[in-house]
């Protein structure tokens, strides 16, 4: 039986927030293995790596473990400088976040207002939908194979492989033009 929120809480929360279906995380691999009666399950979602952490990441954590009591600087200037240097960019053009959902939330807050339109793949990470709906923007989901986004390669980019694309949507003409990072465009 689902628990009912106390009425005083419902009065504090805007109705559009109460109407957003909650995020439903994927099942832990141990639960899937139990349900299917298998022992060698490998989870290929939720940003989990079946090979375990990179030895380089483990070494970096070991090197900084004794500093873990100090809250890190949120702007991460050293990391931004290293990423910028690696890709020939200015550190001011690098935005960091705690996962793609935080970056998407930042983008939504900057570009969307109540009544605006947003477009995303129907099967995209559900937190992206939640970010858009929380701002009372209209969300249009599409199957990648069934809609033709008007796409232009970012100037100076190779025509193959990962890159940045500018796009406009024929199904949501009021949606702002956006940059889309594509890691597997063929």
Query: 126-158: per-residue pLDDT in tens?
Result: 888 888 889 998 887 765 554 444 444 444 444
Query: 17-72: per-residue pLDDT in tens?
Result: 988 888 888 888 888 889 999 988 887 777 778 888 999 999 999 998 998 898 88
Identify whether the C-beta of residue 26 lies closer than 8 Å to the C-beta of residue 43.
Answer: yes
Left, alpha or beta for 86 (phi > 0: left; psi -120 to 50: alpha)? alpha
Instruction: Kindly report the pTM of this predicted structure.
Output: 0.61
């Amino acid at each position: 039986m689902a628990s009912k929120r106390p009425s005083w809480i419902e009065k504090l929360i805007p109705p559009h927030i109460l109407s957003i279906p909650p995020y439903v995380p994927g099942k832990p691999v141990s639960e899937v293995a139990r349900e299917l009666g298998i022992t060698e399950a490998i989870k290929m979602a939720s940003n989990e790596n079946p090979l375990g952490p990179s030895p380089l990441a483990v070494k970096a954590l070991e090197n900084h473990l004794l500093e873990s009591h100090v809250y890190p600087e949120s702007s991460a200037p050293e990391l931004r400088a290293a990423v910028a240097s690696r890709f020939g960019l200015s550190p001011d053009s690098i935005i960091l976040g705690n996962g793609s959902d935080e970056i998407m939330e930042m983008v939504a807050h900057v570009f969307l207002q109540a009544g605006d339109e947003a477009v995303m793949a129907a099967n995209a990470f559900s937190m992206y939908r939640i970010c858009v709906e929380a701002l009372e923007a209209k969300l249009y989901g599409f199957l990648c194979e069934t809609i033709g986004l008007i796409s232009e390669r970012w100037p100076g980019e190779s025509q193959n492989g990962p890159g940045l694309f500018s796009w406009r949507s024929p199904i949501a003409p009021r949606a702002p033009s956006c940059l889309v990072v594509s890691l597997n465009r063929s």
